[in-house]
Amino acid sequence: MSKKTYLQAINEALRQEMRRDSKVILIGEDLVGGHGATGEVGGAGGPFGQMRGLYKEFGADRMIDTPISESAIIGAAAGAALTGLRPVAELMFVDFVGVCFDQIFNQVAKFRYMFGGNARTPLVIRATIGAGKRAAAQHSQTLHPLFTMVPGLKVAMPSNPYDAKGLLIQAIRDDDPVIYLESKSLFGMECEVPDEPYRIPFGEANILREGKDLTIVALGAMVPRAERAAAELAKDGISVEVLDPRTTSPLDEESILESVKKTGRLVVVDESPPRCSLAADIAGMVADKGFKFLKAPIKQVTCPHTPVPFAPILEDAYLPSPTQIEMAARSILD
Amino acid sequence: MPEKEHGVAAEHLVATLITPILMPKWGLSMEEGQIVHWWKSVGDRFAEGEDLVDIETAKVNNVYEAPLSGMLRRIVADVGETVSVGGLMAVSSEPDISDADIDAFISAFQESFVPKADAGSDSLALTRSRIHAGGHELEVGIAGEGDTVILIHGFSSNSQSWDLNLPTLAQRGRVITIDLPGHGASSKDVREGSLSDLATAVGTALDTLAVGGAHLVGHSLGGAIAMQLTLDRPDRFRSLVLVAPAGLPGGSVNRDFLDGIVDGQRARDLKPWLEMLFHNPDLVSEELIEEVARYKRIDGVEESLSVIRDHLVANGSFGHLANSLAALPPTLVVLGDDDRIVGSPNTAGLPDSWRVITLNGAGHMPHVERASEFNDVLTSFLDENA
């Protein structure tokens, strides 16, 4: 066991699964070297470095650098998954998903259902999400709600390095298509990560902090911010439970409802615009199934309904801050 | 040359006008901190004692107050970045110092900065090593010197279960912890996984360490292993301490508990079974549950626990132990009065020379739940048999 960054955790998960199972292949843009390099020397391993060093070990047969065509990447990966491989495809930025909606929503998500359960689609689609990195509106979105609402897809969004490794290994071993969303702003985050391979089952929420006065449910990069808000509230004697669902599909409704039953108050934090967000989804679920537990209205903290701004000051203001989360919590406490 | 000397002098002068803002050290065990929020932006003035930056560490989150008054010229560590204790977070200076001088200051600092390898720890530092033992890789921890005590943990546990006993034991002599095959930081494939196989693995590790004349302490499954190992190597151990052991006549093994731990997939499924270990279930924290869940998620662990479980519940797995108790060295048995895992062994049937102590208000973990009483009982027994 040693400390690893979120980025190293992703790299280690890919490496260990590729060693374990020769059917695991990677396909995407610039996985190897990028910028026209053959990749054999000094391969960057992707624009963020998640694949660093993998080409040297696994070679071109198992790491396919593609032209800039996301529809081709996902189409090829879908076919490979149907015919026996376990491809991990990369979209680099989730914002590029638009050109492969048909492959993902109409094909990949439907195979198992439309072939009467006889087809398996062990496909992982990795993509980065999130604002805060000065990457502008077309490289900064947090589109997990799009995937979450399509039956047939599983959606994981790790909020720390431990979860990043365990959820990615689970995603690769899963026989259904999994959308695995990496929060760009967490790449440098560090924590203890076991050296051995391990799996975190999908649909198991993580309770990061136990509390009795109020529940904060947060996802991805919003989790550290929620913890920060909880620490602030604790200074005033307010006991906050922080819960990270880890996967939005399946969603651990049971753990969320159990927490709300205990605390009676809920703030949901989501790094996506408010309409049809996971905040709205979870708030709706709790209003439907746990209304009797609530002592106060549910509060949603999200980004505003605008594209992600490029001006740094505006971009920082756009993201839900610990202070905003804290204010939302205070507004429903007596 | 004069020109260069002048340059060095000027650099030195400039450096005295630039103040580094460094990662503080809060508490003995803090090695690094993560920047959570900067309360000031580059160009802002701040007064001594004003909130400057929020820092998150493994144990605490706190606001760092400005150690002096100044102007924030450069933020070196952005939000989300982790900085070692003593590392550079930001730079303060008056506005008349040029950006180039600030750059030079930062690069000189970063070039010369070496984080302290281990900034110390609250808990006892064990020297760790890995030992090959019959196809297993066993994690061994050693602390202290002198009369040696070997600690063997129980089913689905690990050496950290002795954390409340280690400091006392390391003070009186040498203490050696071993993670059993399939457990803790040892390799996770237990292979055959029978009592004698596990005992052989531990014995091989002790051979490698050339340990002789030691005291052997085993908890639960570790107690049965300790008995087996002592029977296998009767001249090796000075005394034997069995803590809520499996394998004593009249005792039992709680099958539901073993199944609950082996089959529980989610942290929440494990909770009721972990609570069963203690007289006071409130001792089971979310951290403990998460620790066990994390262990169980590792490749191979569930299979290995399942193999060991099957051996434990098989009929007659401990029969040979019960028949050989008289052959064991001086033995102390420590039980909890509310043990729901191994029940209440028939202490009347134990050899007369054995000492049996039952700690009140303790479940299956008397060395944890009644740590200080346990430590007293243990050390006086060890000292008598040293």
pLDDT value at residue B60: 53
Pick the catalytic residue from A35, A139, A144, A305.
A139
B133 with B44, same domain: the answer is no
**B34 band by pLDDT with thresholds 50, 70 and 90:** confident
User: CA of B59 to nearest chain A CA: how many angstroms apart?
Assistant: 12
Classify residue A199: in a domain, yes or no: no
In whole angstroms, give the CA distance from residue A89 to residue A100.
Answer: 12
Number of domains in chain B: 2
Contacts of B300 in chain A (CB under 8 A): 196
pLDDT value at residue B80: 81
A176 with A295, same domain: the answer is no
* pLDDT tens digits, B228-278: 999 998 888 999 999 999 999 888 899 999 999 999 989 989 999 999 999
Classify residue B117: in a domain, yes or no: no
B82 vs A188, A197, A199: nearest CB: A188
A35 with A89, same domain: the answer is yes
- The pair of structure tokens assigned to B153 is 């943990």
Q: Do B54 and A197 touch (CB under 8 A)?
A: no
> Buried (b) or exposed (e) across B253-268, using 16+ Cβ within 10 A?
bbeebbebbbebebbb
pLDDT value at residue B27: 53
* pLDDT tens digits, A50-103: 998 898 899 889 999 999 999 999 999 999 999 999 999 999 999 999 999 999
B298 vs A194, A201, A231: nearest CB: A194
Classify residue A200: in a domain, yes or no: no
- Structural domain span for residue B345: 128-384
The yes-or-no verdict on residue B339 having pLDDT over 80 is yes
B105 with B138, same domain: the answer is no
B358 with B258, same domain: the answer is yes
B82 with B171, same domain: the answer is no
A182 with A139, same domain: the answer is yes
- When pLDDT is averaged across residues B69-83 and rounded to a whole number, the result is 90
A178 with A239, same domain: the answer is no
Query: Considering chain A, what is the average pLDDT of its residues?
Result: 94
- The pair of structure tokens assigned to A58 is 């696994």
Catalytic residue list contains A35: no
- Structural domain span for residue A308: 206-333
CATH number at residue B68: 2.40.50.100
Query: What percent of chain A stands above pLDDT 70?
Result: 96
Q: Please check whether residue A122 is in contact with residue A80, taking contact to mean a CB–CB distance below 8 angstroms.
A: no
B100: buried, middle or exposed (CB in 10 Å: 19+, 13-18, 0-12)?
Answer: exposed
Q: Do A228 and B37 touch (CB under 8 A)?
A: yes
Strand A124-129 relative to strand A86-93, pairing: parallel
The yes-or-no verdict on residue B61 having pLDDT over 80 is no
Q: Do B36 and A162 touch (CB under 8 A)?
A: no
Q: What is the DSSP letter of A198?
A: B
The yes-or-no verdict on residue B210 having pLDDT over 80 is yes
- When pLDDT is averaged across residues B167-194 and rounded to a whole number, the result is 93
pLDDT value at residue B21: 93
Q: Which of B80, B111, B142 is the last residue of a domain?
A: B111
A253 with A147, same domain: the answer is no
B159 with B222, same domain: the answer is yes
Angle of helix B221-232 relative to helix B195-208, nearest 10 degrees, comes to: 70
DSSP reduced 3-state for B111: helix
> At residue B145, what is the residue type?
E
A306 compared with B386, residue with greater pLDDT: A306
A169 with A39, same domain: the answer is yes
B198 with B51, same domain: the answer is no
Q: Which of A163-172, B14-23, B75-84 has the lowest mean pLDDT?
A: B14-23
pLDDT value at residue A334: 80
CATH number at residue A320: 3.40.50.920
B272 compared with B97, residue with greater pLDDT: B272
ipTM of the assembly?
0.90
User: CA of B244 to nearest chain A CA: how many angstroms apart?
Assistant: 30
What is the pTM assigned to this prediction?
0.80
In whole angstroms, give the CA distance from residue A87 to residue B5.
Answer: 62
Residues of B with CB under 8 A from a CB of A: 34, 36-37, 54, 56, 61, 80-82, 185, 188, 265-268, 286, 290, 294, 297-300
Closest CA in chain A for residue B188: A196
B167 with B312, same domain: the answer is yes
* pLDDT tens digits, A146-183: 999 999 999 999 999 999 999 999 999 999 999 999 99
